[in-house]
Amino acid sequence: MSLAEEGVPESVESLLMLGSTLQLLPDEKFLAVIDKLSIVAQMAPVAAIFEEARPRMRVLRPQRPRNLQRLLCRPFEDLFEARSLPAASDSLIDRKVIAPLWKHLETTEAAAVRTLQAIYKKTPATDPQKNFEISEQVWRLTARVLTKAPIPDVAPEVSSLIRDIMASAMPIETFKQKYPLRPLAHFGDTIFALMREQLDALAGVTTAATGYLVAIAARMASPTELLCWLREGGRPVPPILERYALAKLTDTINQFDQHMVQADPENLAGRAQELLSVLETADNATSGAARATVKGQADAVKIKVRDALKEQIIDVAAPGISAALTNDASRDSLLAAEGYARALAKTRRSAAKVGLATATDSAIQSVRRNCIGRIEDLLKPTPPSDNPAADYAKTRAQVFQSVRIIELVDGASSGRDVLADAQRRLKNLPR
Amino acid sequence: MAARGFDHLLPSTFEERGATVPFTTPILADSRVRKDWRDRLEIVIGQFSGGPGAVVIPWTAVAEMISLTTHDVLLHEEVLTKLAIDPYTVRMAALEVAKSGLAGPEVVEAATKSLAADEEAKALNQVILIIKVIEEAEPTQAKALMRDVMSPDGQERVREALFAIADKINLDAKAFDDRLSELGTATYAVGTPWSPTEGRLRRLVSRLREFSTSIKEWASERLSEAADQAQFTVEMSNHTLKIATEVLGKFDSLVESPRAIVMQWDTKSAEVRALATRLSWLIDGWEPLIETWTAAVDESEQIAALESIVPLLPFIPAKEVDPDKDDKANNDLFGKKRRWVKMNEDWKTGEPDPEIVQRLEFLKTRAT
C-alpha cells in the first residue's frame, strides 16, 4: 500500500523522496520537513529517516508534535536512548515498538482510544494538569490491555516490561516531577525516602515494582547505585534491573575507551573521575557470578584509566603548561595551559583509586614550582625602560597568568598565597 | 498583612539592598555591597546560612572569613579602594579586575570588549542628543547626519553642524555641546530610543523580556518543581519589567527633547540621571541569570539552570515599589523566594568548588 493510500498527504510522500539529502538542508528547511514528517513518524520509511535525523534534531530541538503516542511513551522514554547498550536487549525499549503497541491498543480498545483522542485534541498544551490526567488514563488503559495480551510481533519480555512500567506509571511520573534532572548523579536520602514510599505503595501491584525500578534506573547516571540500595535494604533485585545496570556499566566503560582517544585532558580527567566512582558502587551492587564479572571488568578498566591519566595528563601537564606560558603567550596557549591545570586538579580527586596519588601530587608540585620560578624571573630587577607603565602592566599580567595556573592546579588558597607575595613585590616595580 | 512572615527582611531601598558584585567564589554568587550606618562597606550574602534572611559582615572581614578565588581577592580590594557601592561603579571595578587575567584569558577578552563598547556608546550618545536638537531646525540635515553617526568623522560633523546652526535656532552652541556631552556621558548606558545601537541597560530590559517569555513558554507545558521555579522566575522578572518599563518610558519622554533639558538644566538633567540610575539598580543582578538560562541547551540543563537562578533572583526593595499597586506582590514574591536556597561550597575542603567557579567565570565572558 502506498503512503497516499494510507492517508498520508501527498506533500509528505514527496518529502520522503528527500531521503538522505535531508541532512544537507539548511536548519530552517530541515525543521520544516521534520515538522511535516512527524505526523507519520512511526511508519517504517519515515522512522528510518528520523533515526538518521535524530542527532541533528537533538541540537536544533524542533517543537515536539503533540499526540497521544508521545504521552503513552513518557514513563518509558528514558529507556529509548539506552537502545545501543550491550547485552541488555530485554531491558531496553526500541522506538520501533511504539507503532505495534499503538496498533494493539487501537485494535483492542478502539472506543476508549477514540474517546481519549477526542478529549486530548480539545486540551491545549498549556494545560499540563489536564494533559497529565489524560496521560494517566492512557497508561491505565495500556496496562490493562497488556495484562490481557502482549503486543503482537514484539519480544514478550519487552511487552512485559512496558506492561510493568505502565502499571507503575503514576509513581514514575511523580518521581520525575519531583526530580526532573537527568541523569541524576547521586541519590541522596530524600530521593531514596521517596522511592521507599513509592515501592511500598506498589507492593501489591504484581510486577509493577520491576517496571518502576527499571524506569527510575534509566534516569540515573549510575544505576548500580540503585542495586546497592536495594540490597542494603533487603529488597529483592529484579534480574532485569541487574542486567540493565550491568549493561549500563559496560557502556560507560566502552564510552571511556572511545573517549580516551580523542578527549582533551580536562575532559578525560572528568570522565575518569566519573568512571572510577561508578566502579566503586558497582563492586558493592552485585553478587555471585555478576560480582566476579564486574570485578574482572573493573580491574581491567582501572589499568586503562591509570595508563590514560598517566600518559595524557600527569606526565605531560607540567611540560605542557611551561611550554604554553611564554612571554607572548596567545589566548589559545593560555587556554591550553588552563586545560592541563584543570585536568591535573581533577585527576588529584581520583588518583588514589588507581595508585597515582603520589605521581599526581608530584606533577602538581612541579607545575607550582615552575610557575613560582617564572614569577621570580618576571620580578627580577630590570634596567630602566622608556615606558615603565607598559612594562609594569605586561609583567603584572604575566605574573597573574602564573598565579592563575597555581590556583587552578593546586586550589584557591595556594593561589592566594602566591598572589599576596607577588602583589607585595609588584608594588616595588617602577610604573 | 505580612507576606509569609518574611517582609521584615526586605530592604527598604536599592542602596540598602546593595549592588551585586560579580564574584567568582560560589558562596558569594549573590552577594551585594553596601554602606553601613557608619559609612563603611559591608557585604550582604544571601546564600550563607541557607535559611531566610541574609548574612551581613564588614567588607574588610570577607577575606578572612571566606576562601576567595584570586580573582575575588583583587575584586574585593578594588571595590574597597574605589568605594564602589552602586551598579555602575561596581561594574567598572569588576571590568578592571577582569582585565587582570585572574579569571582567565576569555574573561580578559570580554572585559576589554565591554570597556571599548562603553567608550563608543558614550561618544555616540553625546552626538545623538545633539542631532535631536539640530532636528528641530534642520530635519533633513539631521537625517543625513544620522546616517554617518557611528564614525568619529560623522560625530565630528554633528558638532560642526550644531555650531553652524546655533544662531539660527537661537541657542548657545558651546553650552549645548558641553551640557549634552555631559548628559550623554551620564546616560549612555540607557541610550535613546532612536539611537542606531541600543544602550546596554535598554538592551538588558529587552533581554529580560525575552528571558521571561522563554521561561514562561517552557513552564506552560510542564508539571514539576522546576515548572514551579520557572513560574516564580517569570513572576519576579515580570514584576521587575513592569517597573523598568515605566522608568524607561519616563526616561524616553524626557530625552525626546534634549533642548528642554538644557533649558531647565538643574531640574531636568537631574531627573534624567535619576531615572538612568534607577534603571541600573532595577536591572542589577539580572544579566548573569539571563546568560545562565540562554546557555542551557537541553531540558536537563534548563532545569539545572533554574535551580541556580531562583536563589539569585533580585528582589525589589520595599520603598522602590508603588505602595498602592505593587507592595503586596513584592512582599509575596520575596516570601516565596526564601523557599529555594542551597549551598555551593565543597564541604570537604571549604575551598571554592572549581566547577562552579568555572561556570561563574563563563558568565563573566558573556557579561556586557
Q: Is the pLDDT of residue A5 over 70?
A: no
Looking at residue A59, its pLDDT comes to 66
Is residue B249 a part of any domain in this protein?
yes
Decide which of B260 and A37 is more confident.
Answer: B260
Residue B2 lies in a domain: no
For chain A, the straight-line distance linking the first and the last C-alpha, in angstroms and rounded, comes to 85
Backbone angles phi and psi of A184, in degrees to 5: -80, 120
Tell me, what's the pLDDT at A323? 92
Those residues with Cβ within 8 angstroms of residue B222's Cβ, 6 or more apart along the chain or in another chain: A128, B230
Note the pLDDT of residue A19: 64
pLDDT of residue A374: 96
Chain B from 89 to 108: CB within 8 A of any A CB? 100-106
Residue from the list A181, A408, A411 with its beta carbon closest to the beta carbon of B303: A181
Pick from B8-17, B90-99, B127-136 the range whose average pLDDT is largest.
B90-99
C-alpha span between B167 and B155 (Å, rounded): 20
Taking the alpha carbons of B12, B15, B21, B27 in that order, is the dihedral positive or negative? negative
| Rg of chain A in Å (alpha carbons) | 28
Task: Inform me whether the pLDDT recorded for B343 exceeds 50.
Answer: no
Q: Residues B156-164: what's their mean pLDDT?
A: 90
Instruction: Convert the pLDDT of each residue in A46-56 to its tens digit.
Output: 777 777 777 77
**Nearest Cα residue to A223 out of A242, A251, A198, A236:** A242
pLDDT of residue B138: 86
Residue B222: phi and psi, rounded to 5, are -125, 150
- Non-local CB neighbours of A395 within 8 Å, separated by 6+ positions: A378, A379, A426, A429
SS3 of B69-119: CHHHHHHHHHHHHHCCCCHHHHHHHHHHHHCCCCCCHHHHHHHHHHHHHHH
Q: Which is higher by pLDDT, A261 or B365?
A: B365
- Candidate from A14-18, A138-142, B224-228 with smallest mean pLDDT: A14-18
What is the average per-residue pLDDT within A87-97?
71
Q: In the numeric block, which cell numbers belong to residue B291?
A: 546568560
More confident residue, A97 or A372: A372
Q: Give kind and range of the element (H or E) at residue B42.
A: strand B41-45
Span A194-212, mean pLDDT?
Answer: 88
| B73 at A interface, C-beta within 8 A | yes
Largest CA distance in chain B: 75
B-interface mutation test, from A71, A174, A177, most B Cβ less than 10 A away: A177
Contact status, residue A170 vs residue A211, Cβ threshold 8 Å: no
Substitution target in B27, B70, B297 with the highest count of A β-carbons within 10 Å is B70
A331 interface with B at CB cutoff 8 Å: yes
d(CA A363, CA A317): 7
pLDDT in tens, B199-239: 999 999 999 999 999 999 999 888 888 888 999 999 999 99
Phi-psi region at A54: left, alpha or beta (left = phi > 0; alpha = psi -120 to 50) = alpha
Please give the pLDDT value at position B348. 41
DSSP string spanning B258-315?
HHHHHHTIIIIIHHHHHHHHHHHHHHTTTHHHHHHHHH--SHHHHHHHHHHHGGGPPP
Percent of chain A exceeding pLDDT 90 equals 46
Determine the distance in angstroms separating the CA of B195 from the nearest CA of chain A, rounded to an integer. Answer: 31
**Three-class SS state of B19:** strand
Cis peptide before A183 (omega within 30 of 0): yes
Evaluate whether residue B130 is within a structural domain: yes
Please say if the pLDDT value at position A134 is more than 60: yes
Residues 6+ apart with CB under 8 A from A258: none
Of B101, B104, B226, which is closest to A180 when you measure between CB atoms?
B226
- Alpha carbons A255 and B173: distance in angstroms, whole number: 72
Residue A382: CA atoms inside 13 Å, Cβ hemisphere, count? Answer: 15
Q: Average the pLDDT over A247-253 and give the result.
A: 83
Q: Does position A404 have pLDDT exceeding 70, yes or no?
A: yes
Angle in degrees, CA A274, A276, A280, rounded to 5: 115
The mean of the pLDDT values for chain B is 87
Q: For residue A16, what pLDDT is reported?
A: 63
Contact B300 A181 (CB under 8 A): yes
Of A15-19, B206-210, B298-302, the poorest mean pLDDT is in A15-19
CB proximity list for A217: less than 8 A, separation 6 or greater: A223, A226, A241, A244, A245, A248
Whether the CB of B299 is below 8 Å from some CB of chain A: the reply is yes
Nearest to B53, CA basis, from B315, B353, B290, B360: B315
Number of domains present in the structure of chain B: 1
Measured between beta carbons, which residues in chain A are less than 8 angstroms from residue B307? Answer: 181
A183 in contact with chain B, both atoms CB, cutoff 8 A: yes
pLDDT greater at residue A71 or residue B49: A71
Look at phi and psi of residue B4 and say left if phi exceeds 0, alpha if psi is from -120 to 50, else beta.
left
Task: Work out the pLDDT band at A425, boundaries 50, 70, 90.
Answer: very high
Min Cα distance A319 → chain B (Å) is 20
The mean pLDDT of B50-79, rounded to a whole number, is 89
Give how far Cα B351 sits from Cα of A343, B268, B305, Å. Answer: 17, 50, 23
Contact B25, B68 (CB under 8 A): yes
Q: Given the C-alpha cell 542628543, which residue does it identify?
A: B129
- Domain span including residue B92: 7-366
**DSSP per residue over A49-76, as a string?**
HHHHHHHHHHHH-PPPPP-HHHHHHGGG
Decide if B64 touches A, using CB distance below 8 A: no
Q: Which residue has the higher pLDDT, A115 or A41?
A: A115
- Of residues A191 and B350, the one with the higher pLDDT is A191
Contact of A1 with chain B, judged by CB distance below 8 Å, is answered with no
Instruction: Give the pLDDT of residue A2.
Output: 44
| Chain B nearest CA to A331, separation (Å) | 6
pLDDT of residue A58: 65
Q: Is residue B1 part of a domain?
A: no
pLDDT reading at A351 higher than 60: yes
Contact assessment for residue A402 and residue A325, using Cβ atoms and an 8 Å cutoff? yes
Contact A128 B223 (CB under 8 A): yes
The reported pLDDT for the residue numbered B327 is 63
Q: What is the mean pLDDT of residues A151-175?
A: 93
Among A176, A178, A412, select the one facing B351 at the smallest CB separation. A412
